[in-house]
Structure formats: C-alpha cells, structure tokens
C-alpha cells in the first residue's frame, strides 16, 4: 500500500488582526477630507481636490501591502492525517 502525504491550508485571520489597519486608514481618509475642506475656501479649490486625491492614491498601496502581509502571516500549511490508498 502507498501512503500519500496530504496537506491542508488553514487561515487563522480574524477581524481583530486587521482592525487597527482599518482604523488608521479611516483616520487618513478623514484627515485628508478635512484638509480638502479647509483648502476649499481658498482662491484655488483645485488644490483641495488634488491634495485629497494624492493622499488617497498614495496611501492605498500601503494599505494593500499591510493587508496582504497580515493575511500571509496567518495562512499556514499543515499536514493532514495520512491516508492509505490500496494498490
């Protein structure tokens, strides 16, 4: 009889693991929107839109990197019980 080595993929990620990252990014969004609203009253409101857009576009890759690295840190490959197959 042959024995085959089986593996199972296990993810232990919970919402609590990414909760801080979500909160920090929400703070970044609200601060950029507040800065945009503050600049709206100036003589050139296009600077407000460009500023908010730049903050959001530049912060998004960091957020995605944090999410993916957190996810990969919580994924594990475990060996499953051995299964015997008849020859």
**HEC profile for 30-42?**
HHHHHHHHHHHCC
Is residue 31 assigned to a domain? yes
Is residue 44 assigned to a domain? yes
Is residue 3 assigned to a domain? no
Q: Going by C-beta distance under 8 Å and a sequence separation of 6 or more, which residues neighbour residue 47?
A: 39
Nearest-angstrom CA–CA distance, 62 and 68: 10
- Residue 1: is its pLDDT beyond 60? no
Question: pLDDT per residue over 3-61, tens digit each?
Answer: 677 888 888 888 888 888 888 888 988 888 888 888 877 777 888 888 888 888 888 88
Give the range of the structural domain holding residue 28, as residue numbers without chain letter. 20-75
**Which residue is listed with tokens 């920090």?**
24
Is residue 7 assigned to a domain? no
* pLDDT recorded at residue 2: 64
pTM above 0.85, yes or no: no
Tell me how many domains the chain contains. 1
Is residue 4 assigned to a domain? no
Is residue 56 assigned to a domain? yes
pLDDT band with cut points at 50, 70 and 90 for residue 87:
low
Is residue 81 assigned to a domain? no
């Amino acid at each position: 009889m042959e024995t085959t080595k089986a593996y199972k993929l296990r993810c232990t990620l919970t919402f609590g693991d990414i909760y801080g990252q979500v909160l920090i990014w929400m703070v970044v969004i609200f601060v950029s929107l507040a800065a945009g609203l503050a600049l709206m009253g100036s003589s050139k409101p296009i600077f407000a839109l460009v500023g908010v857009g730049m903050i959001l576009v530049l912060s998004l890759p960091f957020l995605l990197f944090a999410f993916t690295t957190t996810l990969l840190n919580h994924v594990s490959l475990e060996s499953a019980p051995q299964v015997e197959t008849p020859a």
